[in-house]
């Protein structure tokens, strides 16, 4: 497994990974999430150009996961981390998040944040297992409140969601 910065040529592959990673939501009665369009190329390029888009390659050099994010209110906010189902349950996501934590620490950011579904096994329960904790509503920063409001506008609050935090090692 190798992690590296995303290149412009990788961006369509990230969309493919996102589509594949969305499919398991269908079995949970969340077809809207499964059918959601992946991030647009121009949005992925914005993260890539900022140096905040990384991919994981398998032993054959195929991209199997990606992570994008950006600093928000003094922490590195993980906008999206997705693993192709064919590479799931192998520690790929955990390793990619650890890599992002190292990059955040290098930038002087003391922690990671993300937003996620509470009742999806590979979302909040998974993140808790790897050291994230749920942030109480009063602990949300202005930037996280704005992110949550945008998610609500897009209908993501049809299912319970939370913001989470983990200190960088």
- Look up residue 63 and give its DSSP letter: E
Please provide the average confidence, as pLDDT, over all residues in the chain. Answer: 94
pTM of the model: 0.93
pLDDT digits (tens, 9 = 90+) for 72-96: 999 999 999 999 998 888 889 999 9
Q: Which domains does the chain have, with CATH numbers?
A: 2-167 (3.40.630.30)
The mean pLDDT of 131-151, rounded to a whole number, is: 95
**Does the pLDDT value for residue 20 go beyond 90?**
yes
- Give the SS3 label for residue 7: coil
CA distance linking residue 6 with residue 48, whole number of Å: 6
Using DSSP's 3-state secondary structure scheme, residue 77 falls into strand
Q: Please tell me the distance from the alpha carbon of residue 25 to that of residue 6, in angstroms, as a whole number.
A: 26
Q: What is the pLDDT of residues 34-78, one digit of tens each?
A: 999 999 999 999 999 999 999 999 999 999 999 999 999 999 999
155 pLDDT more than 90? no
Rg (CA), the chain: 15
Q: What proportion of the chain, given as a percentage, has pLDDT over 90?
A: 85
Give me the pLDDT at residue 169, please.
76
């Amino acid at each position: 497994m190798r992690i590296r910065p995303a290149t412009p040529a990788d961006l369509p592959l990230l969309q493919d990974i996102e589509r594949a990673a969305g499919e398991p939501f269908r079995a949970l009665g969340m077809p809207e999430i499964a059918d959601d369009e992946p991030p647009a190329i121009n949005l992925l390029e914005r993260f890539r150009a900022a140096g905040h888009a990384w991919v994981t390659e398998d032993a054959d050099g195929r991209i199997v996961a990606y992570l994008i994010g950006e600093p928000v209110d003094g922490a590195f906010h993980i906008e999206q981390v997705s693993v192709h189902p064919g590479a799931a349950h192998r520690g790929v996501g955990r390793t990619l998040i650890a890599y992002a934590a190292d990059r955040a620490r290098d930038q002087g950011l003391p922690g990671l944040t993300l937003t996620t579904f509470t009742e999806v096994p590979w979302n909040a329960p998974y993140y808790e297992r790897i050291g994230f904790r749920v942030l109480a509503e009063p602990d949300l920063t202005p930037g996280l409140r704005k992110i949550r409001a945008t998610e609500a506008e897009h209908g993501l609050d049809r299912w319970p969601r939370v913001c989470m935090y983990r200190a960088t090692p």
